[in-house]
Structure 1
Amino acid sequence: MLRRSFVLGCAAAAALLLGSVQPSTAADRFITVASTTSTEDSGLFKSILPKFTEKTGIEVRVVAKGTGQAIDIAKRGDADVLFVHHKPSEDKFVAEGFSTERKPVMYNDFVIVGPKADPAKVGGSKDVSAALKSIAAAKAPFVSRGDDSGTHKSEQALWKTAGVDPTTGDGWYRAIGQGMGATLNTAAAVSGYAMTDRATWLSFKNRGDLDILVEGDKRLFNQYGVMLVNPAKFSHVKAADGQAFVDWLVSAEGQQAIADYKINGNSLFFPNANEPGA
Protein backbone atom coordinates (compact mmCIF):
# COMPACT_ATOMS: atom_id res chain seq x y z
CA MET A 1 0.00 0.00 0.00
CA LEU A 2 2.83 2.33 0.90
CA ARG A 3 4.59 1.51 -2.35
CA ARG A 4 1.38 2.17 -4.32
CA SER A 5 0.93 5.56 -2.61
CA PHE A 6 4.53 6.44 -3.41
CA VAL A 7 4.05 5.56 -7.09
CA LEU A 8 0.82 7.54 -7.28
CA GLY A 9 2.53 10.51 -5.62
CA CYS A 10 5.37 10.43 -8.14
CA ALA A 11 2.88 10.24 -10.98
CA ALA A 12 1.01 13.26 -9.65
CA ALA A 13 4.24 15.21 -9.27
CA ALA A 14 5.23 14.33 -12.83
CA ALA A 15 1.84 15.44 -14.08
CA LEU A 16 2.22 18.76 -12.31
CA LEU A 17 5.69 19.20 -13.75
CA LEU A 18 4.54 18.41 -17.26
CA GLY A 19 1.58 20.72 -16.83
CA SER A 20 3.94 23.56 -16.03
CA VAL A 21 5.68 23.13 -19.39
CA GLN A 22 3.25 24.86 -21.71
CA PRO A 23 3.08 24.07 -25.39
CA SER A 24 4.32 26.74 -27.83
CA THR A 25 1.84 29.60 -28.11
CA ALA A 26 1.37 32.47 -30.57
CA ALA A 27 3.37 34.67 -28.20
CA ASP A 28 6.37 32.38 -28.72
CA ARG A 29 6.25 33.03 -32.48
CA PHE A 30 8.15 36.23 -33.08
CA ILE A 31 10.51 38.04 -35.40
CA THR A 32 13.16 40.63 -34.60
CA VAL A 33 13.08 43.87 -36.57
CA ALA A 34 16.07 46.23 -36.54
CA SER A 35 14.63 49.66 -37.16
CA THR A 36 15.11 53.35 -36.56
CA THR A 37 14.29 55.38 -33.49
CA SER A 38 11.76 57.43 -35.46
CA THR A 39 9.46 54.48 -36.17
CA GLU A 40 9.55 53.56 -32.49
CA ASP A 41 9.62 56.97 -30.78
CA SER A 42 6.90 58.42 -33.02
CA GLY A 43 4.47 55.78 -31.79
CA LEU A 44 4.01 54.25 -35.25
CA PHE A 45 4.99 50.73 -34.20
CA LYS A 46 2.78 50.88 -31.13
CA SER A 47 -0.09 51.66 -33.47
CA ILE A 48 0.47 49.22 -36.34
CA LEU A 49 2.27 46.18 -34.91
CA PRO A 50 -0.72 44.88 -32.87
CA LYS A 51 -2.72 44.81 -36.11
CA PHE A 52 -0.10 42.65 -37.78
CA THR A 53 0.15 40.34 -34.77
CA GLU A 54 -3.62 39.96 -34.55
CA LYS A 55 -3.77 38.99 -38.22
CA THR A 56 -0.81 36.59 -38.27
CA GLY A 57 -0.06 35.51 -34.70
CA ILE A 58 3.52 36.76 -35.17
CA GLU A 59 4.90 39.05 -32.48
CA VAL A 60 7.32 41.74 -33.66
CA ARG A 61 10.20 42.59 -31.33
CA VAL A 62 11.82 45.86 -32.31
CA VAL A 63 15.42 46.87 -31.77
CA ALA A 64 15.28 50.63 -32.32
CA LYS A 65 18.61 52.26 -33.16
CA GLY A 66 19.94 54.82 -35.57
CA THR A 67 19.91 53.54 -39.15
CA GLY A 68 23.68 52.85 -39.19
CA GLN A 69 23.47 50.78 -36.00
CA ALA A 70 20.32 49.00 -37.19
CA ILE A 71 22.09 48.02 -40.40
CA ASP A 72 25.06 46.71 -38.41
CA ILE A 73 22.68 44.56 -36.33
CA ALA A 74 21.14 43.12 -39.47
CA LYS A 75 24.59 42.54 -41.02
CA ARG A 76 25.50 40.40 -38.00
CA GLY A 77 22.38 38.32 -38.55
CA ASP A 78 20.86 39.54 -35.28
CA ALA A 79 17.57 40.55 -36.91
CA ASP A 80 15.12 38.99 -39.32
CA VAL A 81 14.01 42.24 -40.94
CA LEU A 82 15.62 45.65 -41.46
CA PHE A 83 13.37 48.73 -41.64
CA VAL A 84 15.30 52.00 -42.00
CA HIS A 85 15.49 55.32 -43.84
CA HIS A 86 18.64 55.94 -45.82
CA LYS A 87 18.25 54.63 -49.36
CA PRO A 88 21.96 54.65 -50.33
CA SER A 89 22.75 52.48 -47.29
CA GLU A 90 19.77 50.24 -48.01
CA ASP A 91 20.85 49.73 -51.63
CA LYS A 92 24.35 48.88 -50.42
CA PHE A 93 22.91 46.38 -47.93
CA VAL A 94 21.18 44.59 -50.80
CA ALA A 95 24.18 44.86 -53.13
CA GLU A 96 26.39 43.20 -50.51
CA GLY A 97 24.02 40.24 -50.33
CA PHE A 98 22.56 40.88 -46.89
CA SER A 99 19.11 41.01 -48.50
CA THR A 100 17.77 40.14 -51.90
CA GLU A 101 15.25 42.97 -52.21
CA ARG A 102 14.47 46.39 -50.77
CA LYS A 103 10.86 47.46 -50.74
CA PRO A 104 9.71 51.07 -50.24
CA VAL A 105 7.16 51.50 -47.47
CA MET A 106 6.46 55.15 -46.62
CA TYR A 107 7.91 58.63 -46.45
CA ASN A 108 7.80 61.86 -44.54
CA ASP A 109 10.26 64.73 -44.47
CA PHE A 110 12.98 66.35 -42.43
CA VAL A 111 12.66 69.84 -41.01
CA ILE A 112 15.09 72.30 -39.44
CA VAL A 113 13.88 73.47 -36.05
CA GLY A 114 15.32 76.30 -34.02
CA PRO A 115 14.59 79.01 -31.47
CA LYS A 116 11.80 81.42 -32.27
CA ALA A 117 14.27 84.30 -31.89
CA ASP A 118 16.03 82.76 -34.92
CA PRO A 119 19.48 84.40 -34.67
CA ALA A 120 20.47 82.98 -38.08
CA LYS A 121 17.34 84.47 -39.72
CA VAL A 122 16.37 81.30 -41.55
CA GLY A 123 12.68 81.17 -40.61
CA GLY A 124 10.35 80.58 -43.54
CA SER A 125 13.13 79.48 -45.88
CA LYS A 126 12.51 76.59 -48.27
CA ASP A 127 16.18 76.47 -49.28
CA VAL A 128 17.91 74.16 -46.81
CA SER A 129 21.40 74.86 -48.22
CA ALA A 130 21.00 78.61 -47.78
CA ALA A 131 19.63 78.06 -44.29
CA LEU A 132 22.59 75.91 -43.24
CA LYS A 133 25.02 78.48 -44.63
CA SER A 134 23.27 81.18 -42.59
CA ILE A 135 23.41 79.09 -39.41
CA ALA A 136 27.14 78.51 -39.95
CA ALA A 137 27.80 82.18 -40.70
CA ALA A 138 25.95 83.23 -37.54
CA LYS A 139 27.82 80.56 -35.53
CA ALA A 140 24.45 79.78 -33.99
CA PRO A 141 24.31 76.56 -31.92
CA PHE A 142 23.42 73.55 -34.04
CA VAL A 143 22.88 70.21 -32.34
CA SER A 144 23.49 67.10 -34.42
CA ARG A 145 22.67 63.50 -33.57
CA GLY A 146 26.18 62.52 -34.64
CA ASP A 147 25.24 58.85 -34.38
CA ASP A 148 25.38 57.53 -37.96
CA SER A 149 21.59 57.39 -38.06
CA GLY A 150 19.60 58.01 -41.23
CA THR A 151 18.90 61.53 -40.02
CA HIS A 152 22.59 62.13 -39.31
CA LYS A 153 23.63 60.73 -42.70
CA SER A 154 21.13 63.00 -44.46
CA GLU A 155 22.22 65.99 -42.41
CA GLN A 156 25.87 65.39 -43.36
CA ALA A 157 24.91 65.22 -47.04
CA LEU A 158 23.06 68.54 -46.74
CA TRP A 159 26.05 70.28 -45.12
CA LYS A 160 28.17 68.99 -47.99
CA THR A 161 25.67 70.31 -50.54
CA ALA A 162 25.80 73.67 -48.75
CA GLY A 163 29.59 73.68 -49.03
CA VAL A 164 30.05 73.87 -45.25
CA ASP A 165 32.14 71.66 -42.97
CA PRO A 166 30.49 72.35 -39.60
CA THR A 167 33.08 70.34 -37.67
CA THR A 168 35.76 72.98 -38.32
CA GLY A 169 33.75 75.71 -36.59
CA ASP A 170 34.21 77.41 -33.23
CA GLY A 171 32.18 75.02 -31.15
CA TRP A 172 28.77 76.11 -32.41
CA TYR A 173 28.23 72.66 -33.99
CA ARG A 174 27.61 69.98 -31.36
CA ALA A 175 27.47 66.31 -32.35
CA ILE A 176 26.16 64.52 -29.28
CA GLY A 177 26.10 60.91 -30.47
CA GLN A 178 22.57 60.29 -29.24
CA GLY A 179 19.05 59.73 -30.57
CA MET A 180 16.55 62.21 -31.89
CA GLY A 181 14.78 62.82 -28.60
CA ALA A 182 18.03 63.63 -26.79
CA THR A 183 19.10 65.85 -29.69
CA LEU A 184 15.89 67.86 -29.55
CA ASN A 185 16.12 68.10 -25.75
CA THR A 186 19.65 69.49 -26.08
CA ALA A 187 18.63 71.92 -28.82
CA ALA A 188 15.78 73.16 -26.62
CA ALA A 189 18.15 73.57 -23.66
CA VAL A 190 20.70 75.63 -25.58
CA SER A 191 18.23 77.45 -27.89
CA GLY A 192 19.92 75.83 -30.84
CA TYR A 193 19.01 74.54 -34.27
CA ALA A 194 18.61 70.86 -35.20
CA MET A 195 17.40 68.68 -38.03
CA THR A 196 14.69 66.17 -37.22
CA ASP A 197 12.25 63.95 -39.02
CA ARG A 198 8.77 65.41 -38.87
CA ALA A 199 7.25 62.33 -37.21
CA THR A 200 9.52 62.59 -34.18
CA TRP A 201 8.91 66.33 -34.01
CA LEU A 202 5.14 65.92 -34.02
CA SER A 203 5.34 63.40 -31.19
CA PHE A 204 7.97 65.35 -29.21
CA LYS A 205 6.65 67.10 -26.08
CA ASN A 206 9.59 69.07 -24.68
CA ARG A 207 9.83 71.65 -27.47
CA GLY A 208 10.61 74.61 -25.24
CA ASP A 209 11.20 77.64 -27.48
CA LEU A 210 11.80 75.55 -30.61
CA ASP A 211 9.70 75.80 -33.74
CA ILE A 212 9.91 74.55 -37.33
CA LEU A 213 11.87 77.16 -39.27
CA VAL A 214 12.88 75.44 -42.51
CA GLU A 215 10.70 72.99 -44.43
CA GLY A 216 9.47 72.20 -47.91
CA ASP A 217 12.78 71.74 -49.74
CA LYS A 218 12.64 68.56 -51.84
CA ARG A 219 16.08 67.67 -50.48
CA LEU A 220 14.42 67.13 -47.10
CA PHE A 221 12.43 64.17 -48.44
CA ASN A 222 12.74 61.13 -46.15
CA GLN A 223 12.00 57.69 -47.60
CA TYR A 224 11.76 54.44 -45.59
CA GLY A 225 12.50 50.95 -46.91
CA VAL A 226 12.17 47.41 -45.58
CA MET A 227 14.28 44.32 -46.29
CA LEU A 228 14.19 40.69 -45.24
CA VAL A 229 17.64 39.67 -43.99
CA ASN A 230 18.97 37.07 -46.40
CA PRO A 231 18.40 33.55 -44.98
CA ALA A 232 21.02 32.22 -47.40
CA LYS A 233 23.57 34.23 -45.42
CA PHE A 234 22.12 33.48 -41.99
CA SER A 235 20.28 30.17 -41.75
CA HIS A 236 18.59 31.10 -38.46
CA VAL A 237 16.67 34.00 -40.01
CA LYS A 238 12.93 33.40 -39.72
CA ALA A 239 12.41 33.84 -43.42
CA ALA A 240 8.72 32.93 -43.72
CA ASP A 241 7.56 35.05 -40.79
CA GLY A 242 9.91 37.90 -41.68
CA GLN A 243 8.65 37.89 -45.25
CA ALA A 244 5.08 37.90 -43.93
CA PHE A 245 5.84 41.14 -42.11
CA VAL A 246 7.50 42.71 -45.16
CA ASP A 247 4.55 41.71 -47.34
CA TRP A 248 2.04 43.06 -44.81
CA LEU A 249 3.77 46.44 -44.60
CA VAL A 250 3.49 46.96 -48.36
CA SER A 251 0.00 45.44 -48.66
CA ALA A 252 -3.13 47.54 -48.84
CA GLU A 253 -3.89 46.66 -45.21
CA GLY A 254 -0.43 47.62 -43.94
CA GLN A 255 -0.32 50.80 -45.98
CA GLN A 256 -3.72 51.82 -44.61
CA ALA A 257 -2.55 51.15 -41.05
CA ILE A 258 0.37 53.52 -41.63
CA ALA A 259 -1.90 56.17 -43.17
CA ASP A 260 -4.32 55.92 -40.25
CA TYR A 261 -1.67 56.78 -37.67
CA LYS A 262 -1.97 60.47 -36.79
CA ILE A 263 -1.28 62.83 -33.90
CA ASN A 264 -3.73 65.68 -33.40
CA GLY A 265 -4.98 65.10 -36.93
CA ASN A 266 -1.48 65.28 -38.43
CA SER A 267 -0.17 62.37 -40.51
CA LEU A 268 3.31 61.30 -39.44
CA PHE A 269 4.06 58.98 -42.35
CA PHE A 270 2.70 58.66 -45.87
CA PRO A 271 2.55 55.17 -47.43
CA ASN A 272 4.04 54.90 -50.91
CA ALA A 273 4.92 51.24 -51.42
CA ASN A 274 3.48 51.21 -54.92
CA GLU A 275 4.86 54.50 -56.18
CA PRO A 276 7.46 54.07 -58.96
CA GLY A 277 10.93 55.13 -57.87
CA ALA A 278 10.14 55.09 -54.16
Structure 2
Amino acid sequence: MTFKTAIAAISALWLATAAGAEELKMAVTTSFANSGLAEILLPEIEKDTGITVELLVVGTGQALKLGEAGDVDAVLVHSKAAEEEFVAAGHATHRREIMYNDFVVVGPAADPAGVKAATAATEAFAGIAAAQAPFVSRGDDSGTHKAELKLWKAAGIEPAGDWYKAVGQGMGAALNTAAGMDAYILSDRASWLNFENKANLGLLFEGDKALFNQYAYLPVNPEKHAHVKADAAKALEDWLTSDKAKGMIEGYKIGDQQLFHFNAEAM
Protein backbone atom coordinates (compact mmCIF):
# COMPACT_ATOMS: atom_id res chain seq x y z
CA MET A 1 0.00 0.00 0.00
CA THR A 2 1.40 3.40 -0.99
CA PHE A 3 1.41 6.36 1.43
CA LYS A 4 -1.24 8.11 -0.66
CA THR A 5 -3.47 5.01 -0.62
CA ALA A 6 -2.88 4.54 3.11
CA ILE A 7 -3.88 8.10 3.94
CA ALA A 8 -6.97 7.79 1.73
CA ALA A 9 -7.92 4.57 3.50
CA ILE A 10 -7.41 6.19 6.89
CA SER A 11 -9.58 9.16 5.95
CA ALA A 12 -12.34 6.94 4.61
CA LEU A 13 -12.27 4.78 7.70
CA TRP A 14 -12.36 7.55 10.27
CA LEU A 15 -14.70 9.93 8.52
CA ALA A 16 -17.34 7.22 8.07
CA THR A 17 -18.93 7.61 11.49
CA ALA A 18 -20.97 4.77 12.86
CA ALA A 19 -24.52 5.62 13.90
CA GLY A 20 -24.60 6.94 17.45
CA ALA A 21 -20.81 7.03 17.81
CA GLU A 22 -19.21 10.08 19.39
CA GLU A 23 -16.70 11.93 17.24
CA LEU A 24 -13.37 13.14 18.59
CA LYS A 25 -10.84 15.17 16.63
CA MET A 26 -7.18 14.39 17.27
CA ALA A 27 -4.20 16.06 15.62
CA VAL A 28 -1.45 13.52 14.92
CA THR A 29 1.93 13.57 13.24
CA THR A 30 2.42 12.47 9.67
CA SER A 31 4.94 9.91 10.93
CA PHE A 32 2.24 8.26 13.06
CA ALA A 33 -0.17 8.17 10.11
CA ASN A 34 2.52 6.90 7.72
CA SER A 35 3.43 4.06 10.07
CA GLY A 36 0.17 2.25 9.42
CA LEU A 37 -0.48 1.75 13.15
CA ALA A 38 -3.48 4.08 13.17
CA GLU A 39 -5.31 1.82 10.73
CA ILE A 40 -4.95 -0.99 13.25
CA LEU A 41 -5.93 0.95 16.39
CA LEU A 42 -8.81 3.16 15.28
CA PRO A 43 -11.40 0.45 14.50
CA GLU A 44 -10.75 -1.18 17.88
CA ILE A 45 -11.06 2.16 19.68
CA GLU A 46 -14.46 2.72 18.08
CA LYS A 47 -15.60 -0.80 18.86
CA ASP A 48 -14.54 -0.62 22.51
CA THR A 49 -15.40 2.98 23.36
CA GLY A 50 -18.00 4.12 20.82
CA ILE A 51 -15.66 6.97 19.86
CA THR A 52 -14.94 7.65 16.21
CA VAL A 53 -11.57 9.38 16.01
CA GLU A 54 -11.10 11.82 13.15
CA LEU A 55 -7.40 12.38 12.55
CA LEU A 56 -5.91 15.67 11.39
CA VAL A 57 -2.55 14.57 10.01
CA VAL A 58 0.04 17.35 10.27
CA GLY A 59 3.49 18.02 11.68
CA THR A 60 3.97 18.41 15.43
CA GLY A 61 4.19 22.20 15.29
CA GLN A 62 0.91 22.49 13.37
CA ALA A 63 -0.74 19.86 15.59
CA LEU A 64 0.06 21.91 18.68
CA LYS A 65 -1.30 25.04 16.98
CA LEU A 66 -4.56 23.21 16.29
CA GLY A 67 -4.73 22.26 19.96
CA GLU A 68 -3.95 25.80 21.06
CA ALA A 69 -6.79 27.09 18.88
CA GLY A 70 -9.22 24.50 20.22
CA ASP A 71 -9.69 23.00 16.76
CA VAL A 72 -9.07 19.47 18.08
CA ASP A 73 -9.88 17.63 21.30
CA ALA A 74 -6.48 15.99 21.74
CA VAL A 75 -3.01 15.86 20.24
CA LEU A 76 -0.60 12.96 19.71
CA VAL A 77 2.88 14.21 18.82
CA HIS A 78 6.61 13.61 19.39
CA SER A 79 8.57 16.63 20.53
CA LYS A 80 8.93 16.64 24.32
CA ALA A 81 10.20 20.19 24.78
CA ALA A 82 7.39 21.65 22.65
CA GLU A 83 4.84 19.47 24.44
CA GLU A 84 6.00 20.60 27.87
CA GLU A 85 5.73 24.24 26.77
CA PHE A 86 2.22 23.50 25.49
CA VAL A 87 1.19 22.08 28.88
CA ALA A 88 2.93 24.88 30.83
CA ALA A 89 0.96 27.44 28.79
CA GLY A 90 -2.26 25.75 29.86
CA HIS A 91 -3.25 24.49 26.41
CA ALA A 92 -3.35 20.86 27.60
CA THR A 93 -4.37 19.42 30.94
CA HIS A 94 -1.32 17.13 31.01
CA ARG A 95 1.14 15.12 28.92
CA ARG A 96 0.94 11.31 28.85
CA GLU A 97 3.64 9.20 27.25
CA ILE A 98 2.13 6.43 25.13
CA MET A 99 4.82 4.76 23.05
CA TYR A 100 8.22 5.26 21.50
CA ASN A 101 10.49 4.17 18.70
CA ASP A 102 13.58 5.81 17.24
CA PHE A 103 14.87 7.87 14.38
CA VAL A 104 17.22 6.42 11.78
CA VAL A 105 19.52 7.97 9.19
CA VAL A 106 18.62 6.78 5.73
CA GLY A 107 20.73 7.40 2.65
CA PRO A 108 22.10 6.17 -0.67
CA ALA A 109 23.66 2.74 -0.83
CA ALA A 110 26.94 4.24 -2.06
CA ASP A 111 27.10 6.28 1.19
CA PRO A 112 29.37 9.10 -0.07
CA ALA A 113 29.41 10.71 3.40
CA GLY A 114 30.56 7.53 5.18
CA VAL A 115 27.55 7.50 7.50
CA LYS A 116 27.79 3.74 8.04
CA ALA A 117 31.15 4.19 9.74
CA ALA A 118 29.89 6.84 12.18
CA THR A 119 29.88 6.05 15.89
CA ALA A 120 27.36 8.77 16.82
CA ALA A 121 24.47 10.55 15.13
CA THR A 122 26.32 13.87 15.29
CA GLU A 123 29.30 12.27 13.55
CA ALA A 124 26.97 10.99 10.82
CA PHE A 125 25.53 14.47 10.33
CA ALA A 126 28.99 16.06 10.33
CA GLY A 127 30.07 13.64 7.61
CA ILE A 128 27.07 14.54 5.45
CA ALA A 129 27.81 18.25 5.82
CA ALA A 130 31.54 17.79 5.14
CA ALA A 131 30.80 15.84 1.96
CA GLN A 132 28.02 18.27 1.03
CA ALA A 133 26.03 15.17 0.16
CA PRO A 134 22.36 15.80 -0.69
CA PHE A 135 20.21 15.88 2.44
CA VAL A 136 16.42 16.23 2.55
CA SER A 137 14.94 17.99 5.57
CA ARG A 138 11.26 17.92 6.47
CA GLY A 139 11.51 21.68 7.03
CA ASP A 140 7.98 21.76 8.46
CA ASP A 141 8.38 22.33 12.23
CA SER A 142 7.42 18.70 12.82
CA GLY A 143 8.80 16.55 15.60
CA THR A 144 11.17 14.93 13.12
CA HIS A 145 12.30 18.34 11.86
CA LYS A 146 12.89 19.53 15.43
CA ALA A 147 14.93 16.38 16.16
CA GLU A 148 16.98 16.92 13.00
CA LEU A 149 17.75 20.55 13.89
CA LYS A 150 18.77 19.47 17.39
CA LEU A 151 21.27 17.02 15.88
CA TRP A 152 22.76 19.66 13.56
CA LYS A 153 23.13 22.00 16.52
CA ALA A 154 24.79 19.29 18.61
CA ALA A 155 27.20 18.68 15.73
CA GLY A 156 28.03 22.40 15.63
CA ILE A 157 26.71 22.79 12.09
CA GLU A 158 24.34 25.31 10.52
CA PRO A 159 23.05 23.37 7.48
CA ALA A 160 22.87 25.52 4.36
CA GLY A 161 23.74 25.33 0.71
CA ASP A 162 22.65 23.53 -2.41
CA TRP A 163 23.16 20.16 -0.74
CA TYR A 164 20.55 20.88 1.95
CA LYS A 165 16.95 20.75 0.70
CA ALA A 166 14.10 21.67 3.07
CA VAL A 167 10.86 20.48 1.49
CA GLY A 168 8.22 21.66 4.00
CA GLN A 169 6.34 18.38 3.73
CA GLY A 170 5.35 15.31 5.74
CA MET A 171 7.44 12.22 6.29
CA GLY A 172 6.15 10.23 3.32
CA ALA A 173 6.61 13.07 0.85
CA ALA A 174 10.06 13.85 2.25
CA LEU A 175 11.11 10.21 1.88
CA ASN A 176 9.86 10.22 -1.69
CA THR A 177 11.97 13.32 -2.38
CA ALA A 178 15.03 11.67 -0.83
CA ALA A 179 14.45 8.55 -2.92
CA GLY A 180 14.24 10.66 -6.08
CA MET A 181 17.39 12.62 -5.21
CA ASP A 182 19.37 9.66 -3.82
CA ALA A 183 19.76 11.80 -0.70
CA TYR A 184 20.23 11.35 3.03
CA ILE A 185 17.28 11.95 5.36
CA LEU A 186 16.35 11.54 9.02
CA SER A 187 13.23 9.38 9.37
CA ASP A 188 11.33 7.77 12.19
CA ARG A 189 11.82 4.01 11.99
CA ALA A 190 8.14 3.20 11.53
CA SER A 191 7.70 5.46 8.50
CA TRP A 192 10.88 4.10 6.93
CA LEU A 193 9.84 0.47 7.38
CA ASN A 194 6.37 1.19 5.97
CA PHE A 195 7.76 3.19 3.03
CA GLU A 196 7.51 1.34 -0.26
CA ASN A 197 9.41 3.56 -2.70
CA LYS A 198 12.85 2.96 -1.17
CA ALA A 199 14.62 3.09 -4.55
CA ASN A 200 18.40 3.09 -3.85
CA LEU A 201 18.07 4.14 -0.21
CA GLY A 202 18.96 2.06 2.82
CA LEU A 203 19.12 2.39 6.59
CA LEU A 204 22.70 3.51 7.27
CA PHE A 205 22.82 4.59 10.92
CA GLU A 206 20.79 3.70 14.03
CA GLY A 207 21.08 3.02 17.72
CA ASP A 208 22.31 6.32 19.18
CA LYS A 209 20.44 7.44 22.31
CA ALA A 210 20.10 10.84 20.64
CA LEU A 211 17.72 9.21 18.16
CA PHE A 212 15.12 8.25 20.78
CA ASN A 213 11.62 9.18 19.58
CA GLN A 214 8.85 9.51 22.21
CA TYR A 215 5.16 9.94 21.35
CA ALA A 216 2.85 11.59 23.89
CA TYR A 217 -0.87 12.28 24.20
CA LEU A 218 -2.10 15.73 25.25
CA PRO A 219 -5.81 16.36 25.96
CA VAL A 220 -6.77 19.94 25.07
CA ASN A 221 -7.69 21.97 28.15
CA PRO A 222 -11.48 22.49 28.42
CA GLU A 223 -10.87 25.52 30.64
CA LYS A 224 -9.44 27.21 27.54
CA HIS A 225 -12.00 25.80 25.12
CA ALA A 226 -15.29 24.74 26.69
CA HIS A 227 -16.43 22.97 23.53
CA VAL A 228 -13.68 20.33 23.55
CA LYS A 229 -14.80 16.81 24.35
CA ALA A 230 -12.88 16.26 27.55
CA ASP A 231 -14.77 13.11 28.58
CA ALA A 232 -14.15 11.49 25.20
CA ALA A 233 -10.49 12.55 25.34
CA LYS A 234 -10.18 10.90 28.76
CA ALA A 235 -11.85 7.72 27.47
CA LEU A 236 -9.43 7.65 24.54
CA GLU A 237 -6.46 8.12 26.86
CA ASP A 238 -7.67 5.26 29.05
CA TRP A 239 -7.88 3.04 25.99
CA LEU A 240 -4.45 4.07 24.66
CA THR A 241 -2.87 3.20 28.01
CA SER A 242 -4.72 -0.11 28.41
CA ASP A 243 -3.34 -3.63 28.24
CA LYS A 244 -5.19 -4.14 24.96
CA ALA A 245 -3.48 -1.11 23.43
CA LYS A 246 -0.13 -2.35 24.70
CA GLY A 247 -0.62 -5.69 22.99
CA MET A 248 -1.65 -4.08 19.71
CA ILE A 249 1.11 -1.45 19.72
CA GLU A 250 3.87 -3.92 20.54
CA GLY A 251 2.40 -6.54 18.22
CA TYR A 252 2.42 -4.24 15.20
CA LYS A 253 5.26 -5.33 12.95
CA ILE A 254 6.41 -5.03 9.38
CA GLY A 255 8.17 -8.21 8.45
CA ASP A 256 9.71 -9.28 11.73
CA GLN A 257 10.47 -5.77 12.94
CA GLN A 258 8.52 -4.16 15.79
CA LEU A 259 7.72 -0.53 14.99
CA PHE A 260 6.72 0.85 18.40
CA HIS A 261 7.22 0.09 22.09
CA PHE A 262 4.55 0.80 24.68
CA ASN A 263 5.49 2.86 27.72
CA ALA A 264 2.39 4.53 29.18
CA GLU A 265 3.02 5.65 32.73
CA ALA A 266 0.84 7.12 35.46
CA MET A 267 0.45 10.89 35.24
The TM-score normalised by the length of structure 1 is 0.87
Specify whether residues 98 and 125 from structure 1 end up closer, same or farther in structure 2 by C-alpha distance, changes over 3 A only: same
Tell me which of 68, 73, 88 is aligned to 2:66.
73
Residue in 2 aligned with 1:97? 90
Q: How does 1:1-278 map to 2 (within 5 A)?
A: 26-167=19-160, 170-274=161-265
Q: List per-residue Cα deviations over 1:92-133 (Å, max 9, x = no partner).
A: 110000112100000000000000001111114341111111
Moved over 2 A (4+): 24-28
Q: Secondary structure at the match of 1:227?
A: strand
Distance across 1 between alignment mates of 2:103 and 2:224: 34
Residue in 2 aligned with 1:18? none
Structure 2 residue identity aligned to 1:229 = V
Pairs aligned (count): 251
Distance across 1 between alignment mates of 2:149 and 2:18: 46
Residue in 2 aligned with 1:15? none
CA contact (8 A) 2:18 2:52 kept: no
Distance across 1 between alignment mates of 2:49 and 2:266: 26
Structure 2 residue identity aligned to 1:131 = A
CA contact (8 A) 1:69 1:148 kept: yes
Distance across 2 between alignment mates of 1:74 and 1:26: 27
Q: Secondary structure at the match of 2:100?
A: strand
Distance across 1 between alignment mates of 2:190 and 2:244: 21
Structure 1 residue identity aligned to 2:88 = A
What is the CA-CA distance between 1:265 and the residue it aligns to?
2.2
Q: List per-residue Cα deviations over 1:245-268 (Å, max 9, x = no partner).
A: 011111222222211211112111
Specify whether residues 275 and 98 from structure 1 end up closer, same or farther in structure 2 by C-alpha distance, changes over 3 A only: closer
Which segment is superposed worse, 170-179 or 143-152? 170-179
Q: Secondary structure at the match of 2:101?
A: strand
Residue in 1 aligned with 2:9? none
What is the CA-CA distance between 1:27 and the residue it aligns to?
4.8
Aligned-pair identity in percent equals: 50
Q: Secondary structure at the match of 1:166?
A: coil
Distance across 2 between alignment mates of 1:126 and 1:41: 29
